[in-house]
Structure 1
């Protein structure tokens, strides 16, 4: 007998964003980085160093270890094959969760203008690429430059999985094809050298097991917790697969939510936040400088996050995204930081915030503290803040 449909929860954009902000722990900093809920799905490390700034926006504790390959929060090619910082002990479970669950899922994740393979792309191709990546890393003693990994893996897979790259003057795997295999092979990223290095994780399981839809389902639940209320298509985009693939593995306890009439889904815990009478008040005092790629900016409903098209174009650019100035639940401007020269007393960073509209004095005063936190997260000892119109 079919379970009766859950009643639809109806809410507003303001309340939905307030619940998301609280779920992402932007309303009040937690004591330590390890306590960050967003680490369950990863802190984007693009450009490198962004994950530390995103952590500093949510945690009081030291963020220096975030993204370090030998630390407790290394970065790996995780969701969508993109660099994300995670708790080290979470990486094997995460590798299982981001593993495709079907041939159709592989094609949805890996097909791109640069990828080759067509019908050859599937779980067997994924297995071959992962095995090739493992072999190259082992051949290099557990540490390999990205370029060497690409060339070595390309030489070990069928030619049908590679494409001709005119800029490299070589036949090789698309980055979108071999990067997602990096986590399956237990690789973490090391940006300390001039060229990106990949380092193998000690005691990495030889076999992560058969792709388990329930592992992906668990990851989806956490993504909905942190990015919801979310439409199925936007959730699929967060994973990098298709909505059709996603429908088969959606958690069965997700609840329908209408956000100003738009159909979305939420977890029971997020619905509880939506129904919390104080949730908007909890979010109202937030002022943060969020880096490019921050979880707040990763949500795919950009027209909800930033309704004005001209402002969206300022926040999300084709190249070189700035950071975002967040006041309450609204993106009220952008910011950039520039590292100054090293001095005997340390380094001073200059942070420039460009506001879409003039802000109250309380917001401007809070930006001074936020700029200091950004500078410390970036490794500077001092900061200069310039606030002006966009």
Structure 2
């Protein structure tokens, strides 16, 4: 499979070739949607499905968890086990420590939902311990962009190995073909841990692909931008550094007909787009319409500024 074919398969697998109907939000979140400012999960949904609203992240079909790399993820409720237990260590001592932290949180919180800073004393004030406890599948959270509420629920009725295998399958669905090391980078797990799950013959499922068309404004942290093989997505060094700069906040990406055509950043109602090269008037108009359609509660209409690259 050529690099072009791989990218086309991933675009289709992540529903960036053709928007899904409004009834398919869960399909759009199948590989997990990382959340972050400015409510990137809503913008990632908007890039994949119709009818997305500012409060879509609170839809009862979704749950928020600390998932791969300890980031906040929005996932379908039926997939919580894959994105939590799927990250549970096989090391008996590490696993026991995570369970003790979850027990401590359960004893301290009971049925209450508390702010993260109020939950931390139960695990010695260590955020790392709170994240480790989440791999038991017993921790839920609600992050609204300002504060985080934490509470404890019963563990999923799923075997950890089943959850690990399913998480690898979700990775391959979205990022295949790939390698065990690629999965390790995406999941934030030690390579040795991943190789115990990874099947030597693991391959991505066949996905019907269409010629990508149209404009998408992918937010920072969008699943498509979390690919472990960035060189495949953006072969040009300078453009790759623009999409994934070091030492500065990540921008969003302008995708035109399935290809990276620039970056963008938002401050309030203003969206600054920096194209990599000349764009047609129609493409610029489509990008402006995309920005105007952002499902965000803003006091003013979105204003797009085109900056020189």
Question: What TM-score, normalized to structure 2?
Answer: 0.89
- Residue matched to 1:290: 218
Deviations 1:269-293 (A, max 9, x none): 24xx4xxxxx4x521x131000000
Shift of 1:221: 0.9
- Judge conservation of contact 1:42–1:85 (CA < 8 Å) in 2: yes
- Judge conservation of contact 1:220–1:251 (CA < 8 Å) in 2: no
- Judge conservation of contact 1:97–1:215 (CA < 8 Å) in 2: yes
Which of 134, 140, 143 matches 2:106?
134
Deviations 1:182-228 (A, max 9, x none): 36223122327x5322245xxx32x4468532321122111111111
- Judge conservation of contact 2:64–2:140 (CA < 8 Å) in 1: no
Which of 188, 191, 206 matches 2:141?
188
Which of 26, 36, 45 matches 2:16?
26
Q: Distance in 1 between matches of 2:139 and 2:170?
A: 22
- Residue matched to 2:49: 59
Question: What TM-score, normalized to structure 1?
Answer: 0.72
Shift in alpha-carbon separation, 1:91–1:306, aligned structure 2, 3 A = same
Shift in alpha-carbon separation, 1:63–1:87, aligned structure 2, 3 A = farther
- Judge conservation of contact 1:354–1:387 (CA < 8 Å) in 2: yes
Map 1:103-142 to 2 at 5 A. Answer: 103=91, 122-138=94-110, 141-142=111-112
Shift of 1:329: 2.8
Shift of 1:83: 0.2
- Residue matched to 2:205: 268
Secondary structure at the counterpart of residue 382 of structure 1: coil
Tell me the matched-pair count.
306
- Residue matched to 1:373: 293
- Residue matched to 2:181: 233
- Judge conservation of contact 1:234–1:300 (CA < 8 Å) in 2: yes
Secondary structure at the counterpart of residue 101 of structure 2: helix
Q: Distance in 1 between matches of 2:158 and 2:166?
A: 16
Q: Distance in 2 between matches of 1:28 and 1:304?
A: 21
Shift of 1:50: 0.4
Secondary structure at the counterpart of residue 187 of structure 1: strand
Unaligned runs of 5+ in 2: none
Shift of 1:92: 4.4
Unaligned runs of 5+ in 1: 1-10, 105-120, 155-171, 255-265, 274-278, 340-348
CA radius of gyration, larger in = 1
- Residue matched to 1:388: 307
Shift of 1:40: 2.2
Shift in alpha-carbon separation, 1:245–1:98, aligned structure 2, 3 A = closer
- Residue matched to 1:80: 69
Shift in alpha-carbon separation, 1:304–1:122, aligned structure 2, 3 A = same
